[in-house]
Amino acid sequence: MSATDGTRKIEDDVVTDFSEKMSYGAYLGLDTLLDSQHPVSEPEHHDELLFIIQHQTSELWLKLFLHEIRAARAAIAADDIRVAFKRIARVKHIQATLTEQWSVLATLTPAEYAEFRGVLGNSSGFQSYQYRAVEFVLGNKNAGMLKVFESDPSAHRLLETLLGEPTLYDEFWRYLYRQGYDVPASALERDVSAPYVRNDELIPLVKAIYENVEQHWTAYEAFEELVDLEESFQLWRFRHLRTVLRVIGMKKGTGGSSGGAGFLQRALELSFFPELFAARTEIGT
């Protein structure tokens, strides 16, 4: 710092001329990113910017979530389980960030939100194609959801593709089969475009692995990674539910769902990897 005015001298090697060099802002596309918040309330309500940024940042994290979970699925399909573990570990940190974000939106009071909620029209998080894509990869598939995205060809194409592809869980059971485990045909040959439902034929295998950890360490570790993944997703869902209850109570969702909170409450009953939880009742008995 200068001894006279307290300012810090910029080091001689610091680049300051970006007329022909790529800058931080240019690399990140900040001109576009920071000009992507367009409140529609008139006069503009102070808290609408919070609402927009909350959802935009969630979509950015969902983009990375989808990138990583598809990479994890590909790694499992290639028998590279260690890389899959790495990708899933990153996803869990993304989930933690997404969950904590709700605390920011929860500072929006019911009265504040009511002042601009009406201008949102029918827009709703229900229409997030990236969220649907994540759920499709994890197993909660619903062909009927494609209708919501018919007006968005790229989103529709992505979801249609994912609908016909194996889920992360499907690829995991195929991986165990290739490793010599007695995975039932019902798990290997199921219709991957259908939503995943509990398969009781898998529970004895899950139980055996949990009860013989030393002999099946990699499979056991994979089970626990998947359990962590689902638990983190459920925490995100729960935090979403509690934020909605805090801000709008049991009002109908802007997208037309029969009660925003009620819809989210029912989502908590869904399980991506049901056998990994069902087997816990059987272990030790």
In this structure, the dihedral spanned by the alpha carbons of residues 70, 72, 74 and 78, taken in order and rounded to 10 degrees, is: 180
pLDDT at residue 217, as a whole number? 98
Q: What is the per-residue pLDDT across 147-176, written as a single tens digit (0 to 9) for each?
A: 999 999 999 999 999 999 999 999 999 999
Span 34-66, pLDDT tens digits: 999 999 999 999 999 999 999 999 999 999 999
What CA–CA distance (Å, rounded) separates 30 from 27?
8
Q: Which is nearest to 255 in space by CA: 56, 57, 121, 151?
A: 121
Residue 4 confidence (pLDDT)? 63
Distance in angstroms (rounded) separating the CA atoms of residues 257 and 122: 10
The ranges assigned to domains in the chain are 45-123, 127-165, 167-237+259-285
Length of the chain: 285
SS3 106: coil
Give me the phi and psi of 37, to 5 degrees please.
-105, 110
Please say if the pLDDT value at position 129 is more than 60. Answer: yes
> Would you say 113 is a known binding-site residue?
yes
User: 55 labelled as ligand-binding?
Assistant: yes
HEC sequence for 87-111: HHHHHHHHHHHHHHHHHHHCCCCHH
Angstrom distance (rounded) from CA 113 to CA 52: 12
| 240 marked among binding-site residues | yes
Q: Half-sphere exposure of residue 45, counting CA atoms within 13 Å on the CB side?
A: 18
Does the structure show a pLDDT above 60 at 1? no
The pLDDT of residue 256: 56
CATH topology of domain 167-237+259-285: Methane Monooxygenase Hydroxylase; Chain G, domain 1 (1.20.58)
Determine whether the annotation assigns residue 53 to a binding site: yes
Give the integer Cα–Cα distance in Å for 9 and 114.
49
Structure token pair of residue 28: 């990140």
Residue 104 pLDDT exceeds 90: yes
246 belongs to an annotated ligand binding site? no
Locus of tokens 């990479």: 71
State the Cα–Cα distance between residues 121 and 129, nearest whole angstrom: 18
CA 154 to chain centre: 19
52 labeled binding residue? yes
How far is residue 196's CA from residue 276's CA, in Å, rounded to a whole number?
13
**Per-residue pLDDT tens digits for 193-246:** 999 999 999 999 999 999 999 999 999 999 999 999 999 999 999 999 999 999
Answer yes or no: is 117 a known binding residue: yes
